[in-house]
Structure 1
Amino acid sequence: MFKLLRRVLVLAVLLFVGYKIYRIHQDVRQVMTYQTLVREILSEKDTPANEELVLAMIYTETKGKEGDVMQSSESATGSTNSINDKAISIRQGIQTLTDNLYQAQNKGVDVWTAVQAYNFGPSYIDFIAQHGKKNTLSLAKQYSRETVAPSLGNTTGKTYRYIHPISILHGAELYVNGGNYYYSRQVQLNLYILKSMVKVMEIIPFL
């Protein structure tokens, strides 16, 4: 009986893992449909942003499944979901990332501070410049709790459950109205996922 249960459990785990890999593969294929558009928009600008980073951010934001693929409406208009054109969304997202990267260069902070600032806003770059010049999870969490959340009404540090492979080891929560302090790490993880899956797709073209 025990052996049968163990086999059922192993089979269930294998099916779950297989399903997750399939979903990741489908999401990567969707995001890669924007590669040409991203490349064209990047060529229009003098920017330190690169194609792989932008695609990883699209993967992180929407998996390429919404009109505002880079969730850039708020940086353009001050309100969410006001952009519903994929090219406009990517163009605005790249502009915001470009501005962050140049500001990060001027302040002497790392690239991932600029990426985290895509979620928090550019003032985060100044915060990191005054606190060691390198983005860390503890500093991002502090900024979320002490700056972002209170500015949007959460003055008590109220949190909510947030389940993600990265968050599980760090409390699995975020501050209400506090943005996503895991954002830059999620982009890093998704950059790795994109690169790895694209290599697999090149080796096995029919995938």
Structure 2
Amino acid sequence: MKKKRKGCFAAAGFMMIFVFVIASFLLVLLFFNRDLIKKLPIDTKTIVLERLTDYKPLVEDELENQGLSNYTSLILGMMYQESKGKGNDPMQSSESLGLKRNEITDPQLSVKQGIKQFTLMYKTGKEKGVDLDTIIQSYNMGAGYIDFVAEHGGTHTEELAKQYSEQQVKKNPELYTCGGNANNFRYPYCYGDYTYAEKVKEKTKTVEESLQVATLETMESKAHE
């Protein structure tokens, strides 16, 4: 009986050592492979910001092409809200191309199309005389929201976004149901997310702070070279 127990303990001990070695190997692998970490379904603030920063050069180039160079942080803030920088459609821009959600399979195409869509909303918004928050919200709710706000004072509020959402829901109540979940925070305003602009602004601030820190670290590093 004692021999059997010793055998069980030995087997358990071996298994623990094996698991420890494998876990240690994976941790070392992840530590030295930041690209692998960023592809994992881990959403710590640091990892999300690293993903977004990887897109910064492309975002800057595309915005410069559109004459909107001052909006890098905003676009990255929108990407943060849309996908946290994950997946093949980080700007969730498939639908603006007439495709189904997440049908874009090329992240670069997603970014380019997302910025193209933002540029369209931006120009439309400026023509209609609405504020930037309305333009941001229209990325989520569509150009119709710009017209709606223009007719109601030109300044975005969550109350106006709710009213517009309610209007759209009434047009197609079977489609906009919040997944049938009455506990969804959007319910009954199930068309779009009436809090989108505010969420994007909060995330844009986080992105700006991160980019400022990165810039300071780069400057300090060069100063010590």
Q: TM-score, normalised by structure 2?
A: 0.69
2:203 counterpart of 1:190: yes
Q: Tell me which amino acid in the other structure corresponds to 1:104.
A: G
Distance 1:149 1:78, change over 3 A: farther
Give the structure 2 partner of residue 27 of structure 1: 48
Specify every segment of 5 or more residues in structure 1 that has no aligned partner in the other structure, as ranges: 1-21, 163-171
1:72 to 93, 98, 103: 93
Between Structure 1 and Structure 2, the one with more helix by share is 2
Distance 1:103 1:197, change over 3 A: same
Give the structure 2 partner of residue 181 of structure 1: 194
Whole-angstrom CA distance in 2 between matches of 1:149 and 1:66: 33
Does the 8 Å CA contact 2:186/2:194 hold for their aligned counterparts?
A: no
Q: Which range is displaced more, 127-136 or 41-50?
A: 41-50
Whole-angstrom CA distance in 1 between matches of 2:175 and 2:98: 23
SS at match of 1:161: coil
**Rg larger in structure:** 2
Q: Tell me which amino acid in the other structure corresponds to 2:142.
A: G
Does the 8 Å CA contact 2:165/2:189 hold for their aligned counterparts?
A: no
Does the 8 Å CA contact 2:129/2:150 hold for their aligned counterparts?
A: yes
Q: Which range is displaced more, 24-33 or 115-124?
A: 24-33
Distance 1:127 1:185, change over 3 A: same
Does the 8 Å CA contact 1:159/1:176 hold for their aligned counterparts?
A: no
Q: Tell me how far 1:73 sits from its aligned partner.
A: 0.3
Q: Tell me how far 1:161 sits from its aligned partner.
A: 3.5
Segments of 4+ in structure 1 off by > 6 A? 155-158
Count of residues in correspondence between the two structures: 175
Specify every segment of 5 or more residues in structure 2 that has no aligned partner in the other structure, as ranges: 1-42, 219-225
SS at match of 2:44: helix
* Deviation digits for residues 88-126 of structure 1 (CA, Å, limit 9, x no counterpart): 101111111101111111111001111101111101000
Whole-angstrom CA distance in 1 between matches of 2:214 and 2:182: 37
Whole-angstrom CA distance in 2 between matches of 1:111 and 1:176: 22
Give the structure 2 partner of residue 161 of structure 1: 183
* Deviation digits for residues 28-78 of structure 1 (CA, Å, limit 9, x no counterpart): 111111001111222222347621111111111001111001000000124
2:122 counterpart of 1:101: yes
Q: Which range is displaced more, 147-156 or 114-123?
A: 147-156
Q: CA RMSD in A?
A: 2.5
